[in-house]
Amino acid sequence: MSSFDAVEAQYDAFPYPQPSVVAQQLPAGFARGVLNFLTRRRLEDWFPASMRIWIAGCGTQQASMWALCYPEAEIVATDLSDGVLDIARSLAAQLGVDNVLFEKQNIADAAYEAEFDLAVSTGVIHHMPDPLVGATSLSRSLKPNGAAIVMVYNEMHRRALVPFRSAHQLLSQDGESADQRYQLASTMLDAVLDAPRCAPIGRPSLTGLRNARDHDRPFVADALLHPLEHTYDVSGLFDLLDSAGLRYASWLHPAAWDLSRYLTDEPLIARCEALDPIDQWRVVHALTGVGSPMFEVIAERREAPIRPPYSLDEVLALQVVRSNGVQGFGIEHEKVTKTGFTPPYEIEGAMLKGTARVAFGPGNDFAVPVAAREVIDAFATERSVGEVVDALSSKFGRQDLIELIANLLPSQVGLLSPLHPA
């Protein structure tokens, strides 16, 4: 069995992820504004509403998430597992999604050439025999002004599972079914975690997997049974992008890579901030360990124009709208059974707390002073930053207000997002 056949068999047996919720960021256009802001797009090269998107390795629910957040886009969603695609098509139909073309395809065999404004591949190419082949395919698929969102495994997050996975591979026998291999992993979890003389380095992770084994088999199987996995540190991630002809544009959640989010020692933070950006991120990765951010990066083709940071005048001219929260569609046994709404924030004492989200992933947790609520609400309808600054500067102070709004934009908190003027 080839490596690709083994990966396909893994996902046919354990379609991943187990669908639980599909989220739609509100209002319409908010998620696209986040993407444009993080890639420093000006109006002349703003991603169009009718953009073409390739979701390379769509899994069971990602296509529906992107389609709901980008309802006018033309989306091609591919995966190498028939079982995964069957679930993905079913969910899309239940949600009324009609702008996705599903195709069975191996990323290594994709022949797209400059066809997409955006290519999305999250948690996929690190399961290929050569991830560079996958990254190069993504790069080749982009239009000259396109971008790719890529997520690969952070080696800090997977390190604790390596010994267990190695032992499981040694103990597995030829010809065992997927269910038998899963039962072996379950038996091993009990044996190791309950043995007083065993001290696995990944005890917290293994305990979480044991707790999930009866209700989320795909999650446990992906962590412990997957036949092929590569992981990366910061330098390895950037080497992968460069070798594929891609150039870093932004982290998907830039604030997560700020050392001050984790530590309070100001001299130490100042030392870190004196380094070049990649070395800053290497420090964050090293010091935060298993608590370090996910490797979710937005990249552009190497020959794409380098866009400078927005000037103050450009920020003041941005037409901005606030997040209206997330509409969630609950899924049980592959059926959409309920809906729910998550507001953009909750008031907890003197703070506004919540999670800012894009079209997928865990999002960016934030906490801002409750006084920011008036500023956020000032963007209930689309207004320019300058208009809000003029209206509220006498109360907050002009410079403090500009800094507060900048903190609420996608590069930090993510409660505000620019929209293209009508």
What is the model's pLDDT at position 43? Answer: 87
What is the model's pLDDT at position 356? Answer: 81
Q: CB under 8 Å to 266, separation ≥6 — which residues? A: none
Strands of 335-342's sheet in order across: 21-26, 325-332, 335-342
Is this structure's pTM higher than 0.85? yes
What is the model's pLDDT at position 332? Answer: 94
Angle at 26 between CA 31 and CA 370, to 5 degrees: 100
Give strand pairing partners of 118: 53, 147
All residue ranges of the chain with pLDDT < 50 are none
CA–CA dist 319, 420 (Å, integer): 7
Classify strands 416-418 and 319-322 as parallel, antiparallel or unpaired. Answer: antiparallel
**Residues shown for the chain:** 422
Q: Which of 67, 61, 69 is nearest to 26 (CA)?
A: 69
What are the tens digits of pLDDT across the range 21-30?
Answer: 999 999 989 9
Q: Which of 157, 181, 152 is nearest to 167 (CA)?
A: 181
Residue pair 83/102 in contact (Cβ under 8 Å)? The answer is no
CA–CA dist 15, 76 (Å, integer): 19
Strands of 100-104's sheet in order across: 100-104, 74-79, 52-56, 116-122, 142-152, 295-301, 246-251
C-alpha 275: how far from its chain's center?
A: 26
What is the model's pLDDT at position 364? Answer: 77
CA–CA dist 170, 391 (Å, integer): 67
What is the model's pLDDT at position 360? Answer: 62
What is the model's pLDDT at position 365? Answer: 85
